[in-house]
Amino acid sequence: MADSSSVSILTNIFTAPNEAFAALKERPRVLLPVLVLIVGYSVVSFYYLSHVDMGWFLDNQLRVGNANITEAQRAQTVAAAAKIPPMLYGAFGAVSANFASFLIMFIVAVYFTIVSFFTRDGVRLGQWFALLCWCAMPGVLGQVAALVNMLINEPRFMIQDAINPLAFGNLLSIDAADKTILQRSLLGVNLTAIWALVLQVIGYQSFTKSSFGKTVAVVLGPLVLIVVIASLFALRR
């Protein structure tokens, strides 16, 4: 039987993922990764949103995402936002970052469970959710990199895309200011997110004993579909 202690799984998720997934399938547990992820998301989001110049930040966001808004409306919105204490923005950011991240993982776990229902591989929702939580562990390295980046470089006038130095846009020194939403999203993908996807592929195959082709289709298929639809939508605008 594989060692199912949380410390062993944490070590193996980086060094021997197949052993980690074997232990998780036998005994799914999520307390450690959930706590680590909550701390990571909370610290990075709180620090950034409590230190960035919120008037500048909101004005920049409105200019990028709301081309039809008037200068008067933008100025009014920015002025109202500047009256709210930075700590409140930080707290809201920490809560929303955690909610969004775990909601996405839960939705993906439900998707895997539906696939399991039709393929009858016997994997349950709790097992899939545990797998996804542990697969997100490399993301903590990205959160640490983002925090160090903000500690070294004053984040007061730092756009959100520039927080994580491991994002492709930052690694390739590509300015995302004049890019579409889809292009900015792709440039915002970081190395740890790719690592997490690779772990999902390994974990799915370990849990279901499926072929590599089927595993890749199940894990990456929805992402490819989303990118294709978003690309078609962007072309029509």
Instruction: Tell me: pLDDT of 3 over 60.
Output: no
> Would you say residue 72 has pLDDT above 90?
no
pLDDT tens digits, one per residue of 22-48: 999 999 999 999 999 999 999 999 999
Per-position DSSP letters for 138-192, written without gaps between them? THHHHHHHHHHHHHHS-GGG--GGGS-TTBHHHHTT---TTS-HHHHHHHT-BHH
Q: Which tokens sit at 152?
A: 């070294």
**Which pLDDT band, with edges at 50, 70 and 90, does 1 fall under?**
very low
Pairwise pLDDT comparison (72 vs 216), residue with the higher score: 216
φ, ψ at 100 (rounded to 5°): -65, -45
Nearest by Cα to 25 from 181, 153, 204: 204
pLDDT value, residue 226: 81
Model confidence, pTM:
0.88
User: What percentage of the chain exceeds 90 in pLDDT?
Assistant: 60
* Averaged confidence pLDDT in the chain: 87
Higher model confidence: residue 224 or residue 61? Answer: 224
Of the ranges 59-68, 86-95, 103-112, 132-141, which one carries the lowest mean pLDDT score?
59-68
Percent over 70 (pLDDT), the chain: 89
Res 59 pLDDT > 60? yes
Listed by start position, the domains of the chain span 6-236
pLDDT digit string (tens) for 149-203? 999 998 988 888 889 999 888 888 777 666 666 677 777 788 999 999 999 999 9
Work out the pLDDT band at 81, boundaries 50, 70, 90: confident
What confidence score (pLDDT) does residue 103 get?
Answer: 96
Region 125-143 average pLDDT? 96
Q: How far is CA 67 from CA 71, 149, 215, in A?
A: 10, 30, 41
Q: When comparing pLDDT for 113 and 236, which is higher?
A: 113
CA separation for the pair 30, 24 (Å, rounded): 9
